[in-house]
Each structure stands twice: as structure tokens, then as C-alpha cells.
Structure 1
Amino acid sequence: MSDQSLREHVLYLLKGGGAHLDFEKAIADLPEEFRGKRVERVSHTPWRLLEHLRICQWDILEFARDPDHVSPDFPDGYWPKDDGPPSSEAWDNSIQAFRDDLQSMIDMISDPETDLYARIPHGDGQTILREALLVADHNAYHLGQLVFLRQCLGAWED
């Protein structure tokens, strides 16, 4: 497999291709009244999942590109404290930040100057390829949870 072919496969996953779910579809048109709503025996709300996705993706991206990046405390730093967003603007800002960071990861993988296989100098064996695949897998997992939660809330149309 050529380097370009591998890049295209990874980009396909990051953009929600294959078995991965597209972020835009998972988040689209969620009514405001459901954003902080809980389902019995489920520990997440749509807001908690959205913020977790945003924080984790941001952390992985920053780790990959910034040797001075300090990750949040695990696990508490990767989840919001409240069930719902403090405002509609906070919801929209979280969505936009997720989009921006996903685009930054896509840009990094698309750049032929990015060595996908080189170890990240400040890591302990990670590569850009590994971090991009981690973003794709983590996003797919939690976006699937979000869709399931939306189904439980009656806020999803097949």
C-alpha cells in the first residue's frame, strides 16, 4: 500500500466513512430540550458525550503536534461536570471546536510532509498514524453512543 493510499484510508475513517459514523449526522438537529437530558440507567447525556468527544479529540490532536501540551487529568478532565450545556451558545461552540479540531487532524494526515510512521518525539512510541486512528475509533464509539441515546430519547429519525 502506498503512503497516499494509506492517507486516503485514514481520511475516509476520520470523515465518518465505512463503519464509522459521520459527526454531522449524529449531532444534527438535536432539539435543545434533549441536550442535557438523561435516560434511566445511562450515565451520559448528549452534552456530556459531545464535550467528551471534543475534549478527547483536542487532547489527542494537541499531543500529536505540541511537545508542551499537558493533557487533562484522567478521567475527570475528559468529561464536563454538568449534564447540560450552560447555554445554546456553549453547545454551538463545542460543535464548532470539534469540527475545527477534526479538520486540523484531517489537514495533518493530508499533508504529504507529515511522516505518519515516525515516533512522536515527546511521546513513548506513538505515531501520527496511531493518533489519527485513535481519533477515528474514539469518535465512532461515542458517536454510536450518542445516536443510541438519541433513539432512547425519541430524538432520532432513522
Structure 2
Amino acid sequence: MSDEVLREHVLYVLNGGGAHLGFDQAIGGLKPELRGAKADGCSHTAWRLVEHLRICQWDILQFSINANHVSPEFPIGLWPPTDGPPNEKAWDACVEAFRTDAQAMVDLMADPNTDLFAPIPHGDGQTILREALLVADHNAYHLGQLVFLRRCLGDWSD
């Protein structure tokens, strides 16, 4: 398989293709009053999930491109401290930052000058390919949780 074909496959998944659900589809139509709502059987609120997705994706991207990046403390630094966003502006900023970083990871993966298999110099064996797959996997997992939460809250229709 050529690098170009591999890039196309990974980009397809990063963009919500295949069995994956896209970010905008998962958050689309979510009622603002439900962003901090809890549901029986669900560990997190929509805000906690979306902000966690943003933080982790940003962390993985920054690790991939910035030798000076310092990751947030695990696990506390990867989750927001509150169940709901402080305000509408915080939600909007989170969503926009997620989209921006998602596009940056897509751009990095799509760049033919990016060596997908070279170890990241400041890592301990990670590659850009591994980090892109980690983003896709992590996002898919938590977007699935978000859909389940929305179903439990009566805010999702198939």
C-alpha cells in the first residue's frame, strides 16, 4: 500500500467516514439546556465529553508538532472541572477549537511531506500515523458516548 492510499484511508476515518460518527453530527441540535445534564447510567455530561475531546485532541496534536509541548496532568487536566459550560461563549469556543485542531490534524496527515512512519523526535517511538489513529480512535469512542448520553436524555433520533 502506498503512503498516498494509507493517507486517504486515515483521512477518511479522521473526517468521520465509515463506521465513525462525525463531530458535527454528534453535537448537532444538542439543546443548550442539556449540555450540563446528567442521565442515569451515563458517567459524563455532554460538556464534559466535548471539552475532554477538545483537550485530548489538542494535546495529541501539540505533542505531534511541538517538541516543547507539555501535556496536561493525567487524568485531571484532561477533563473540565464542571458538569456544564460556564456560558454559551465557552461552549462555542470549545466547539470551534475542536474543529480547528481536527482540521490541523487532517492537514498534517494529508501533507505529503509528513513522514507517517518516522518516530517523532521528542517522543519515545510514536509516529504521526500512530497519533492520527489515536485521535480517530479516541474521538470515535467519546462521540459514541455522547450519542448514548443524548439517547438517554431523549435528545437523539436515529
TM-score bucket (shorter structure): over 0.9
1:89-148 Cα deviation digits (max 9, x unpaired): 111110000000000000001100000000000000000000000000000000000000
Instruction: Specify the code of the residue in structure 2 equivalent to 1:102.
Output: A
Look up the match of 1:90.
90
Look up the match of 1:51.
51
Within the alignment, does 1:111 sit opposite 2:148 as a pair?
no
Aligned equivalents of 1:40, 1:109: Cα separation in 2 = 39
Look up the match of 2:11.
11
Deviation at 1:20, TM superposition (A): 1.2
Instruction: Specify the code of the residue in structure 2 equivalent to 1:76.
Output: I
> Please, what TM-score do these two structures have when normalized by structure 2?
0.99
Deviation at 1:31, TM superposition (A): 0.5
Aligned equivalents of 1:89, 1:8: Cα separation in 2 = 35
What do you get for the CA RMSD once the two structures are aligned? 0.6
Structural mapping, 1:1-158, within 5 Å: 1-158=1-158
SS in 2 for 1:71: coil
Instruction: Specify the code of the residue in structure 1 equivalent to 2:43.
Output: S
Instruction: Specify the code of the residue in structure 2 equivalent to 1:39.
Output: A
> Please, what TM-score do these two structures have when normalized by structure 1?
0.99
- Choose 35-44 or 54-63, whichever is displaced more: 35-44
SS in 2 for 1:131: helix
> Could you tell me the percent identity over the aligned residues?
68
Aligned equivalents of 1:155, 1:134: Cα separation in 2 = 28
Q: Is the 8 A contact 2:40 2:152 kept in 1?
A: no
Aligned equivalents of 1:84, 1:39: Cα separation in 2 = 13
Number of equivalenced pairs: 158
Runs ≥4 residues deviating over 3 A: none
Instruction: Specify the code of the residue in structure 1 equivalent to 2:83.
Output: D
Please list every run of 5 or more consecutive structure 2 residues that lacks an aligned counterpart in the other structure: none
SS in 1 for 2:122: coil
Instruction: Specify the code of the residue in structure 1 equivalent to 2:9.
Output: H
